[in-house]
Each structure stands twice: as C-alpha cells, then as structure tokens.
C-alpha cells in the first residue's frame, strides 16, 4: 500500500487556493501508485478529466517537475523512498543510516568491550599464576570472583533498567567496570584479597549489561527485527572474546601485564563519550529519528500497555513454568559458556602443551565464528516469524539447536588428539550455542514485555550460581582427575536435559 505526501511548496499553494484545497480533500483517493522495476510510478484516475480538473492536473505536473516530483513513502513497510535511494527524508534533511541501526552498532561495540574486559584476566591469569604460585583450584576461585559481584547486580540492574531505561544504567556500568579493569593489575600485585575484591566489583558493574541491551533493543526495534538486532549485539559480545584473547598476549609481551588492562579501560571511557549524546532510551525521545522509522518501530510492537510500570511479584514470576524454562535454559547456557570462556587457554596449554600466544589463538577462533552464527540465528528466527510460523515454535527450534549442538560437540571433544581437532569441536559447540540468543534470551521479552529486565536479572542471578559452580568445579575436577573429560561429559548431559525441559514448558505467548 502506498500513501501520498505532498511537498512543502504544494501544501502552501493548496492552502492559499480554496478550490485546490477542496480538490485534495475530495479526490485524494484518485491518486494511486504501482510498483515498477524503477520504483513507484503514479497513476492518475480519468475521473479528473471527467470532473473538469484537467487544468489542476497540469498545474500539479508543472510543480512536480520544478520540485523533483512528489515524495513517496511505502507505509506498508514504513520506509521512506529517500531512505532507500539516498534522497531527502520527511523532515527535509539528508537521510543517512536509520537511528535504530546506530543504536545497535553502539550496543555491539559496548558488548564487545564488555567481554574483552572479562577475557583479559583469562589470559593474564597464566603468567600471574606462575608469578604467585597459584594452584589449579585457586585459579578457579580467581576466575569465579567476577561472578560474585555479577550475581548481585543482575536483579537490581534489571529492575533499574525497567524503571529508568537502558541508556543510563549501562553508562554507569561501563564507567565502573572500566575503573575496575584499570585497578586489576595493581590489586593482583598488592594481595589476593584485593584482587578478589576488585574482580567482584568488576562483575557487579558488568551485571547490568545484558538486561540493558535486551530492554533497549526491544524499545528500538519492531518484533520482526529483534532477533537480528540481538544477533548483531551479541555478535559484538562474542567478538570481544576474540579481541581480548588476541590483543592481551600482544600487549603483555610489549608493555607488561598491566598493558591490556589500561588499554581496555581507556576504550570504555571513549565509548562513553559517544553513547552519552548519541542514544535515547526510547525512539520517541530521539530528535533525529524520521517519522516513518518511528511508525515502523511502533507498528511492529505488540500491545504491552497492560501492567505498564508495575513489576510482577517474585512469587508470581516463579509460579509459572515458562519462567522456569527460561531459568533452566539460562543456567545451562551460563554453565557451558563460562567453562569454555574461562578455561580454554588453560585447556590448550595443559592438554596440548601449546604456548600462551598459541593457546589464545586456538581459543579465539571459536568465538569469532560464534559471532557470525549468532547473526545467522537472528536472521533465521526473524525470517520464520515473518513467514507466519508461531513464535513458540520458532523459540523452541532455535533453543534446541543451541543446546543439542554443543552437547554433541563436547562429547566429541573428549576424543580430540590434536589442538586443531579440539578447536574444531569447540568452534562447533560455541557456534551452535549462539542459537540460544534467538531462544531463551528473546523469550524474556515474549512472556514479560514490560518487566523483561527484572525477569532477566532473576534468571541471570540463578544462572550465575551455576556459572560459579562450573568455573570452580572445572578447576577441582582437573586437579583431582588430571583431565577435563569428566566435566565435559557432565556439561553435555546438562545440555540434553535442558533441551527436553525447554520443549515441554516454554511458550512464546505473553504470560505477565
């Protein structure tokens, strides 16, 4: 369907001529458009000539020729023609990249930084352990200390995001975790207690990142684009692993252990300077957004007016099976994710005796492919929803791929004999696990659109307990049994059990 928007000069002319104004009111439906290979072509009804308006038609044609033609916009898609061909937008300014794309680009950057800051310690802990004589079990404690603070900030951060929006909350989070990153090498040299405290504070600040991302993108993107937007943002998140794993050994070899910590903390402050003035909590508050883009966003959202501004009680949330489906899926995802994130450099060095730089590269490759597969999962999910498949079915398909694939891959990892083969299986595990982004992560918005931050915080806090157990447990398993095989098998079994539970109890319908 196409709608007709006169140019500014034509509006002025019609307002000064009563007959012309009446003409537009009574014969607006006489103008229609047909799509051609060149764009939109106007068709003017013969009723104009029959009603004696041929003179007015000629005047309009002359004005069109002088002003470059009428401005056409496709209201079915909500996209201005100027946006597609690089012309002028509705407000008369040159159209460039849509505002929602700018938001997701900045969000992808900060998610990249978020994970890069985490990974620095996963690499730096190897020379720190050699320097201070830490055991494998204590390495697990140091790695898990990040999660001690993370577990407390998830619920509070999620509730703050629902109340104040994602922009302000994630800005404070970036400022605080950049400070903690800067202080980490000093704390490690001072005492183990100081190191654990700084890492816990770091996790406290980073706990607001995912709830902020989820809520902010749900406000800026229509339902049929949300999976792709989350895929792009989480792609940045996974690329942060690559950035951290690759740059940290280089920085340490040239500058010292403190080098990567200083570098990434400075990047955080640089990002803040752009974020503060470039993003709003809601597209309606943005002064740069076009009317057509705003209509597209609003038209693609379900009605979420009920219970607006009211958070459901914790008792009510936990009384519903779809909530527990999300919680169990989050537990499983965090369990496997943090095992691979925190232990892969140690795994390659211990099992295959590769040096630190080689271990970082073998660990980095899987995260790069995970970023791409997460985007593919988002595009696929949005395509299925646009094609008319039920949201519940789409979420179950995506989550099943995100759990069965990693489970099988980790079982195969037990039989890897070379670092290259091991890297292939880890790559498969992480790539397929990224389909969870279009599963349980988006499902929070499906069942609780007005309180998804709160729900995200609750599920993430419980899942963080599982991440702490898996991170510490891996260290003790390796110390007691001398290998990673037993723990990889346990993790695979958890993936399979979570798949069954998800398909029995998950739903794409609104619950709260």
> Please, what's the b/e burial string for 64-91 (b: 16 or more CB within 10 A of its CB; e: otherwise)?
eeeeeebbbbbeeebbbbbbeeeeebbe
Q: Helix, strand or coil for residue 326?
A: helix
Tell me what the mean pLDDT of segment 368-379 comes to: 86
139: pLDDT strictly greater than 70: yes
- pLDDT given at position 89: 40
**All residues at 6 or more sequence positions from 246 whose CB lies less than 8 Å from its CB, including other chains:** 360, 361, 364
- pLDDT given at position 61: 55
- pLDDT given at position 502: 95
Per DSSP (E only), the strands in 31-189 are 31-36, 39-44, 71-74, 79-80
Residue 445, Cα to own-chain centre: how many angstroms? 13
pLDDT tens digit string along 470-508?
877 777 777 777 677 778 888 899 999 999 999 999 998
CB 495 within 8 A of CB 337: no
417: pLDDT strictly greater than 50: yes
pLDDT tens digit string along 422-453?
888 888 998 899 899 889 988 988 888 877 77
pLDDT tens digit string along 229-243?
988 998 888 888 788
Residue 471, Cα to own-chain centre: how many angstroms? 24
- pLDDT given at position 39: 44
CB 428 within 8 A of CB 409: yes
User: Domains in the chain, start-ordered, CATH in brackets?
Assistant: 3-76 (no CATH), 113-505 (1.20.1250.20)
Dist CA 359 CA 350 (whole Å): 10
Tell me what the mean pLDDT of segment 130-147 comes to: 78
> Please, what's the b/e burial string for 129-143 (b: 16 or more CB within 10 A of its CB; e: otherwise)?
beeeebebebbbbbb
> Rounded to two decimals, what is the model's pTM?
0.65
CB 143 within 8 A of CB 471: yes
Residue whose token pair is 């202080």: 183
110: pLDDT strictly greater than 70: yes
pLDDT tens digit string along 236-271?
888 887 888 788 888 888 888 888 898 999 999 899
pLDDT tens digit string along 39-66?
444 444 444 444 444 555 555 555 555 5
Q: What percent of the chain has pLDDT over 70?
A: 76
**Tokens found for residue 261:** 């910590």
CB 77 within 8 A of CB 199: no
Tell me what the mean pLDDT of segment 280-308 comes to: 74
**All residues at 6 or more sequence positions from 57 whose CB lies less than 8 Å from its CB, including other chains:** 44, 48, 49
Dist CA 224 CA 49 (whole Å): 44
Residue whose token pair is 């402050």: 269
Q: Which of 176-180, 364-368, 482-486 has the highest average model confidence (pLDDT)? A: 176-180
311: pLDDT strictly greater than 80: no
Q: What percent of the chain has pLDDT over 90?
A: 20
Res. 25 pLDDT band, cuts 50 70 90: very low
Tell me what the mean pLDDT of segment 221-228 comes to: 85
367: pLDDT strictly greater than 90: no
- Closest to 176 in 3D by CA, of 153, 147, 144, 160: 153
């Amino acid at each position: 369907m196409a709608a007709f928007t006169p140019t500014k000069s034509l509006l002025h002319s019609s307002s000064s001529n009563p007959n012309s104004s009446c003409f537009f009111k009574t014969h607006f439906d006489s103008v229609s458009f047909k799509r051609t290979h060149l764009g939109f072509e106007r068709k003017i009804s013969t009723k104009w000539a029959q009603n004696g308006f041929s003179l007015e038609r000629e005047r309009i044609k002359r004005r069109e020729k002088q002003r470059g033609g009428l401005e056409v916009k496709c209201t079915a898609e909500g996209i201005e023609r100027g946006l597609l061909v690089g012309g002028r937008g509705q407000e008369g300014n040159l159209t460039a990249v849509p505002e929602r794309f700018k938001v997701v680009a900045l969000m992808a950057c900060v998610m990249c930084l978020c994970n890069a800051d985490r990974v620095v310690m996963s690499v730096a802990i190897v020379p720190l352990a050699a320097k201070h004589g830490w055991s494998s079990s204590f390495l697990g404690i140091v790695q898990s200390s990040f999660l001690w603070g993370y577990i407390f900030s998830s619920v509070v951060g999620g509730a703050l995001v629902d109340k104040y929006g994602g922009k302000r909350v994630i800005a404070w989070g970036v400022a605080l975790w950049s400070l903690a990153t800067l202080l980490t090498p000093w704390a490690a040299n001072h005492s183990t207690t100081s190191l654990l405290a700084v890492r816990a504070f770091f996790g406290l600040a980073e706990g607001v990142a995912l709830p902020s991302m989820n809520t902010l993108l749900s406000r800026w993107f229509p339902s049929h684009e949300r999976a792709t937007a989350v895929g792009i943002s989480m792609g940045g998140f996974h690329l942060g692993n690559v950035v951290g794993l690759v740059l940290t050994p280089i920085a340490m070899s040239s500058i010292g252990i403190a080098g990567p910590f200083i570098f990434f903390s400075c990047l955080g402050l640089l990002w803040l300077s752009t974020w503060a003035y470039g993003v709003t909590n809601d597209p309606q508050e943005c002064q740069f957004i076009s009317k057509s883009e705003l209509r597209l966003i609003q038209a693609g959202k379900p009605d979420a007016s009920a219970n607006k501004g009211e958070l459901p009680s914790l008792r009510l949330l936990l009384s519903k099976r779809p909530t527990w489906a999300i919680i169990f899926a989050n537990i499983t995802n965090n369990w496997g994710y943090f095992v691979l994130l925190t232990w892969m450099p140690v795994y390659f060095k211990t099992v295959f005796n590769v040096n630190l730089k080689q271990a970082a590269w073998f660990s980095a490759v899987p995260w790069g492919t995970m970023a791409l597969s997460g985007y593919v999962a988002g595009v696929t999910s949005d395509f299925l929803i646009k094609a008319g498949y039920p949201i519940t079915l789409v979420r179950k398909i995506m989550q099943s791929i995100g759990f069965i694939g990693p489970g099988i891959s980790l079982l195969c990892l037990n039989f890897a004999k070379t670092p290259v083969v091991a890297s292939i299986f880890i790559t498969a595990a992480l790539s397929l696990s990224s389909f969870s982004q279009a599963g349980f992560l988006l499902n929070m918005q499906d069942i609780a659109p007005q309180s998804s931050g709160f729900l995200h915080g609750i599920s993430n806090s419980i899942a963080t307990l599982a991440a702490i157990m898996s991170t510490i447990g891996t260290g003790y398993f390796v110390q007691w049994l001398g290998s990673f095989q037993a723990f990889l098998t346990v993790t695979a079994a958890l993936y399979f059990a979570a798949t069954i539970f998800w398909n029995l109890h998950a739903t794409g319908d609104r619950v709260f």
